[in-house]
Structure 1
Amino acid sequence: MSFQPRDYQNLFRMLGDPSLYQKYQIPSNTQPTHRQPTGFSPNFDVYETPNEYVLEGELPGLCDKSKVQIEFTDAQTLLVRGHIERSHEQDAQRRKSLKPTVEDEGEATKKELARTKEADKTKYWVSERNVGEFQRSFSFPGAVDLDLVKASLEHGILKIVVPKKVQAGSRKIEIS
């Protein structure tokens, strides 16, 4: 049995009640689908303090700040876009760490080649991580100070602080 992300038909079968997928109108002949990395919309928390708007978005796996663009499309609309790629660097590091022991020195070259070929034949069973292009747009209800906007990226969290524009207070003018 193949297992695909969010494959409810197979989930209901595993639970032992085939009538559930009929109840939820899931066709029994549904073929598994393979997700292609097309694009996604990252999750953001947006909150307001008395002096600023704060946006915190989840971009797990993003380390290269140059892969994110933050810009104002008008005086009150912020656009966040970029690209996240699946990294095979961890797989490469794992393969390098599989060094032969002293006893295996004679077989070292053969084993290293076999491990490399085996690792190159990796098949994903489930691929649910968000990769590809992403874009989010945010409109602010009040005037913002575009010159004082700050952004940081730490541990996969993009934080954008957008200060509110300080409104000039009213001033009474006396007639002389």
Structure 2
Amino acid sequence: MALTNRFFNDAFRDMHRAISLMDDPSFFDNARRSLQSAGNSIGSVSRYPATNISETPEGYELQAELPGYDKKDIHIDLADDHTLLLSGSVEHRRESSSSNQEQEQTAATSKDVKSTSPKWWVNERVSGSFQRSFSFPNSINSSGIKASYENGILKILLPKANNENKKRITID
């Protein structure tokens, strides 16, 4: 029984240490710096937007979650009769309050002030770009594609091409 108690005491001690580390704001700064030095960039889009695609007898409907994007920064291209390319980019500028601007002007004239830039406690807004392609089994009617963007949801209607020109080949 002493071995069991020791195991749980060690486990709880380790969990307490981990939680204490996360309470220290410098923990996240150090983690961000080490990831950035490894070539990653915290706060950049490194994922594709969440997407739903459904098929009806008439065509396909694609819905993509793109909150925070301006529709002028979203691009939809048809690479060929079966492939849709979706890409976009978003940039967020860090805004400073007027008091920060006054402090910056004061700092420019004072030599003893090192930096007036804010120390970020939470910086979760993402910026960057993405590109994704979707292949469809049926040909797409390029002239009938419609797209709308509302409340952060991009909706693309892709009608299937009319296959009247389809020709069956007989084997000799």
Q: 1:57-98 CA deviation, whole Å, 9 max, x = no partner?
A: 1111112x221111011110000111111144xx56xx4xxx
Q: TM-score, normalised by structure 2?
A: 0.59
Q: For the Cα contact (< 8 Å) 1:40–1:131, is it kept in 2?
A: no
More helix by share: 2
Kindly indicate whether residue 160 of structure 2 is the aligned counterpart of residue 164 of structure 1: yes
Are residues 138 and 116 of structure 1, via their aligned partners in 2, closer, same or farther at CA, if it must alter by over 3 Å? farther
- RMSD, aligned α-carbons: 3.4
1:56 to 58, 63, 67: 63
Identity %: 35
CA separation of 1:125 and 1:72: change in aligned 2, threshold 3 A: same
2:81 to 42, 64, 75: 75
Within-5 A mapping of 1:2-151:
18=14, 32-34=31-33, 35=42, 37=44, 39-63=46-70, 65-88=71-94, 91=95, 95=97, 113=99, 117=103, 121-151=117-147
Per-residue deviation at 1:166?
2.5
TM-score, scaled to structure 1: 0.58
* Alignment gaps of 5+ in structure 1: 1-14, 23-29, 96-111, 171-176
Match of 2:79, SS state, is strand
User: Which sections of structure 2, spanning at least 5 residues, go unmatched?
Assistant: 1-10, 19-27, 34-41, 105-115, 167-172
CA distance in 2, matches of 1:116, 1:125: 22
